[in-house]
């Protein structure tokens, strides 16, 4: 019966896809007083309905030139304003609920500003004072985990395999330390691995934990497995951050805030399913639900792996 379920859900999984974190990014560089060179990056999915940026009324934009890469459309143009844009608002339109927009401004005096807009907060007010901390990267890290369905289902399967609070701490700590290491090493260019390969391997890690979770026998998940899987997921986190880039002079702080955002989102996800699993683990109904959930996740992850593996060679 389990094999039949698996086959059926595997077929259904072709209609599912892992959401890839790829926010829009608006970069303004002040070239002379109140005159800016502008680059707007946004996902290919917006090809026919591009995000719109509304500047202060005293600003004029030049003709837009467009180019593209594998993931993004890139719009380049000049922005000339009659006065300083500090204290003014920039608004984004046509953002869907899964897409954020990062705003980065580098002023001619060496100061900078970064903030993030989303579907619930489309308008950004540019402050008169320079940002002290790169809070925008905390929000990006937080959103990256919550909007990355592959990372979430991995955590769900992982929790199915963790017994006891102490072991949970060991597993989460090992996963955190590992992905923090590879996120930094990869983003800084010290270690380089193809992002297509990493994405396929991440799908394999989900298949591995899903198969273990679907097993009717209770298994203890070793912390060093979590460490190894965390190394792979760290490369994935780095790939997302590399696509966005860091456009300020606070590289170390931006990396730290991005990583802390990931951890806070992870800690926000874990407690509720862990408590449910802890109290109902011995229930027969729960065991069936656990098995079915793991089969669903495993089937979808097989599709992700095949899709991403094919992408390596395209």
Averaged pLDDT, 137-156 = 84
Mean pLDDT across the chain: 82
Last residue of a domain, one of 133, 168, 183: 133
* Predicted pLDDT of residue 178: 92
Please report the pLDDT score of residue 77 as a whole number. Answer: 97
Question: Which residues 6+ apart lie within 8 Å of 116 measured at CB?
Answer: 23, 100, 101, 102, 103, 124, 136, 139, 140, 143
Q: What is the DSSP string of 264-279?
A: HHHHHHSHHHHHHHHH
- Domain boundary pick from 133, 164, 179: 133
| Cα angle for residues 10, 211, 150 (degrees, 5° grid) | 65
Residue 278 lies in a domain: yes
Does position 8 have pLDDT exceeding 60, yes or no? no
Residue 32's pLDDT band (boundaries 50, 70, 90)?
very high
- Tally of domains in the chain: 2
Cα 67 to Cα 69: distance, rounded to the nearest angstrom: 7
- Burial group, residue 217, by CB count within 10 angstroms (0-12, 13-18, 19+): exposed
Checking if the pLDDT of 80 tops 90, the result is: yes
Q: Residue 141 above 90 pLDDT? A: no
Pair (102, 167) in one structural domain: no
Mean pLDDT, rounded, for 224-250: 82
What's the confidence (pLDDT) of residue 39?
94
The pTM score is: 0.73
> Tokens 């190394």, residue?
231
Name the pLDDT band for 19 (thresholds 50, 70, 90). Answer: very low
Residue 298 lies inside a defined structural domain of this protein:
yes
Cβ neighbours, 10 Å, residue 46:
16
- Residues 201 and 294: their CA atoms lie apart, in Å, by 18
The helix-helix angle for 223-244 and 165-187 (nearest 10°) equals: 40
**Are the CB atoms for 52 and 92 separated by under 8 Å?**
yes
Q: Which of 70, 101, 133 is the last residue of a domain?
A: 133
Residues 226 and 286 in one domain: yes
Domain of residue 74 covers 24-133
**180 and 116 in a common domain:** no
Coil/strand/helix, residue 43 = strand
Q: Are residues 165 and 302 in the same domain?
A: yes
Is the pLDDT at 84 greater than 80, yes or no?
yes
In this prediction, residue 7 carries a pLDDT of 46
């Amino acid at each position: 019966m389990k094999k039949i379920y698996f086959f059926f859900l595997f077929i259904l999984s072709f209609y599912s896809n892992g959401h890839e974190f790829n926010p829009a990014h608006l970069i303004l560089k002040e070239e002379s007083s109140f005159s800016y060179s502008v680059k707007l990056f946004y996902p290919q999915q917006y090809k026919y309905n591009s995000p719109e940026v509304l500047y202060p009324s005293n600003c004029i934009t030049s003709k837009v030139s467009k180019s593209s890469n594998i993931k993004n459309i890139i719009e380049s143009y000049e922005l000339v304003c009659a006065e300083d844009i500090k204290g003014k608002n920039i608004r984004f339109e046509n953002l869907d609920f899964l897409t954020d927009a990062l705003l980065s401004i580098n002023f001619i005096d060496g100061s900078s500003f970064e903030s993030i807009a989303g579907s619930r907060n489309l308008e950004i007010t540019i402050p008169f004072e320079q940002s002290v901390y790169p809070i925008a990267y905390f929000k990006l890290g937080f959103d990256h985990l919550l909007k990355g369905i592959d990372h979430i289902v991995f955590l769900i399967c992982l929790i199915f395999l963790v017994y006891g609070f102490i072991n949970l701490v060991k597993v989460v700590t090992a996963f955190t330390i590992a992905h923090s290491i590879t996120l930094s090493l990869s983003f800084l260019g010290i270690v380089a691995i193809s992002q297509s390969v990493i994405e396929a391997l991440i799908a394999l890690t989900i298949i591995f934990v899903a198969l273990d979770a679907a097993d009717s026998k209770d298994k203890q998940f070793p912390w060093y497995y979590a460490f190894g899987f965390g190394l792979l997921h760290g490369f994935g986190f780095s790939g997302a951050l590399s696509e966005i880039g860091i456009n300020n002079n606070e590289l170390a702080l931006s990396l730290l805030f991005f990583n802390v955002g990931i951890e806070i989102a992870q800690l926000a996800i874990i407690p509720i399913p862990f408590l449910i699993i802890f109290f109902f683990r011995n229930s027969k109904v729960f065991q069936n639900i656990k098995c079915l959930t793991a089969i669903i996740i495993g089937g979808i992850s097989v599709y992700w792996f095949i899709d991403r593996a094919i992408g390596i060679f395209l």
